[in-house]
Amino acid sequence: MHHYWLSIVPFIVVIPIAIWTKQVLPALTLGLVVGSYLYNPHWIGGIQSAVSFVITALVEKSNIEIILFLYVFTGLVGMMKHSGGIKGFVKWSAEHVHTKRQALLLIWVSVLGTFISPSFRMVTVGPIMRALTDKVKMSAQELGYMIETTGTPLIALIPVATAFVGYMTSIINVSLKSNKVTGDAYVLFLQSIPFNFFSYSIILLGIYFGFFHHDKKKVKKTTIPENEKQAEAKGWEDCHPVVAKELPAKPINLIVPLVLVIALTLIFTYISGLQHGATGIQTFNKADVLNAMVVALVLGTLVSFFFYLVQRFTLEDLITEFFSGANNLMNVVVLLSVVWGLSIVTNKLGFSTFVTRHVSWIPTSFIPPVLFVLGAMISYFIGSSWGTWGILMPLGVAMAHTSGANLPVVIGAVFASGAFGTFSSPLSDDTNTMAGVLDLEAVSYARYKLKSGLIAAGISTVGYFIASFLIK
């Protein structure tokens, strides 16, 4: 008799511990260790197995490509910052905005230059907006709200050149493998984009509240000493290190590398598709997209490196800034490694078999909305979209595979649930980064956003019921 039920024990450990400690990584690590001891119940065997599972995950080609992509990408952002690309973009924007409507349009137009990651958007656009609050007659919380609705919810829908693409593709890939489901992870990610209902709902609500509605509700300012000093410094050059006074202001140093990386990604993806025997639009389906993205990014970064050298930035400084930026991402690399290891151990314990035997009673049409609601609760309490996706995606893919539910709809529901927590939770990086830039109290600011977050979540839940009935 196989004890397949043991395969859910790591998840039973991970979810409450993540909610209780408000930390994703320790919870996932404990889940990995518990699962490894269940698999190899020897006093040192469990730890040996845990290490072995993580190493097995790390040596896989696609996983190494994802780590390389994320590492080089954040290194490139470090060089953009040092060369004044980000500050130049901020300075140009601040000089051309005079009204509320222009400020709102700038928030949207700025997506073109700052869609790399939500935190990158916030530290780039946030300082401009903070400097403009008096000029455009908008409250800090309204500006923060508008920037955030164009942060994680929007970036999760962009299929190229973001810090999210590699991670999202990886989570799908590892879930497919652990459930022995055939399919291309990137193509499934593309197919799931129309079903990320929360992102679409909150973006539309953001447009409505920004352009057509004025909220009179006040959000408390912080009383933290450092932020008081920030608040006294009215100029945007005091808001954040990426716009520090000693940096030059050259918007071209942001625009050229970004355009280059996106163009090269499309070119190499097309070439990869041709090499796999595809023609026309099919080249993008048949291509090894992840590999094309990594090659394009490495080449784009090397060209950008020489582009900065020609401008008399020193070799030593560029290398220092590259590694300083890239090393900020080590916590994400560790998180990914543990998620991958946890996926392997639950698979070894028979997770997909357990789901196959025990969820057949759930009506197929209930699976996407239930997964969305469960994921939204988890992501709200742990404040992490990436953590939620790592915990929930293997379960979602297993349930979809077993029940016959539409896989892109289920994947879209899991991604949407993580976006809810990142937007609404007082614990999320987005909430705390935005509150820090705009001198708002994080809990009060999160409460301000929660109403529209819940409205968008309600719309999404109904959307998943409808999609489940219509799309088989």
The packing angle between helices 252-275 and 85-95, to 10°, is 120
The Cα 338–Cα 329 span in angstroms is 15
Tell me which of 453 and 170 has the higher pLDDT: 453
Tokens standing for 91? 């300075």
Predicted confidence at residue 161, as pLDDT, reads 65
Predicted confidence at residue 349, as pLDDT, reads 83
With tokens 């991670």, the residue in question is: 167
The Cα 275–Cα 292 span in angstroms is 12
Kindly tell me if the per-residue pLDDT of 229 is higher than 50. Answer: no
Predicted confidence at residue 231, as pLDDT, reads 38
The Cα 107–Cα 458 span in angstroms is 26
Percent of the chain with pLDDT over 70: 85
Predicted confidence at residue 457, as pLDDT, reads 95
The closest of 386, 384, 372 to 454, measured between CA atoms, is: 372
HSE-up of residue 454 (Cα within 13 Å, Cβ side): 6
pLDDT tens-digit series, residues 410-449:
999 999 999 998 898 887 778 877 887 777 877 788 888 8
Kindly tell me if the per-residue pLDDT of 1 is higher than 50. Answer: no
Average pLDDT on 165-176 reads 85
Average pLDDT on 279-298 reads 77
Evaluate whether 359 touches 14 at the Cβ level (below 8 Å). Answer: no
HSE-up of residue 460 (Cα within 13 Å, Cβ side): 39
Task: Please report which confidence band the pLDDT of residue 284 belongs to, taking 50, 70 and 90 as the band edges.
Answer: low
Q: How far is CA 98 from the centre of its chain?
A: 32
Evaluate whether 193 touches 413 at the Cβ level (below 8 Å). Answer: no
Mean pLDDT comparison of 42-56, 77-91, 232-246, 420-434, highest-scoring range: 42-56
Three-class secondary structure assignment of 155-199:
HCCCCCCCHHHHHHHHHHHHHHHHCCCCCCHHHHHHHHHHHCHHH
pLDDT tens-digit series, residues 351-392:
767 766 766 677 888 889 999 998 898 888 777 788 788 888
Q: Which of 81-90, 238-247, 447-456 has the lowest mean pLDDT?
A: 238-247
Tokens standing for 48? 């040996």
The Cα 241–Cα 238 span in angstroms is 8
The Cα 358–Cα 34 span in angstroms is 22
pLDDT tens-digit series, residues 124-157:
677 677 767 666 777 788 888 888 888 888 888 8
Predicted confidence at residue 254, as pLDDT, reads 83
Kindly tell me if the per-residue pLDDT of 218 is higher than 70. Answer: no
Structural domain boundaries in the chain: 7-58, 61-470
Task: Please report which confidence band the pLDDT of residue 234 belongs to, taking 50, 70 and 90 as the band edges.
Answer: very low
pLDDT tens-digit series, residues 299-330:
999 999 999 999 988 999 999 989 988 887 77
Task: Please report which confidence band the pLDDT of residue 215 belongs to, taking 50, 70 and 90 as the band edges.
Answer: low
Task: Please report which confidence band the pLDDT of residue 91 belongs to, taking 50, 70 and 90 as the band edges.
Answer: confident
Task: Please report which confidence band the pLDDT of residue 33 belongs to, taking 50, 70 and 90 as the band edges.
Answer: very high
Task: Please report which confidence band the pLDDT of residue 242 belongs to, taking 50, 70 and 90 as the band edges.
Answer: low
Residues in the chain: 472
Predicted confidence at residue 228, as pLDDT, reads 44
φ, ψ dihedrals at 3, nearest 5°: -90, 70
pLDDT tens-digit series, residues 7-25:
888 878 887 887 787 677 8
137 in the Ramachandran plot: left (φ > 0), alpha (ψ -120 to 50) or beta?
left
CA angle, 457 then 395 then 32, to 5°: 115
Question: CA end-to-end span of the chain, whole Å?
Answer: 34
Query: What is the average pLDDT value for the chain, to the nearest integer?
Result: 81
Predicted confidence at residue 62, as pLDDT, reads 75
> Would you say the C-alpha torsion 116, 119, 122, 125 has a positive or negative sign?
negative
Three-class secondary structure assignment of 272-318:
HHHHCCCCHHHHHHHCCHHHHHHHHHHHHHHHHHHHHHHCCCCHHHH
Predicted confidence at residue 193, as pLDDT, reads 93
Kindly tell me if the per-residue pLDDT of 256 is higher than 50. Answer: yes
Which DSSP state fits 221? B
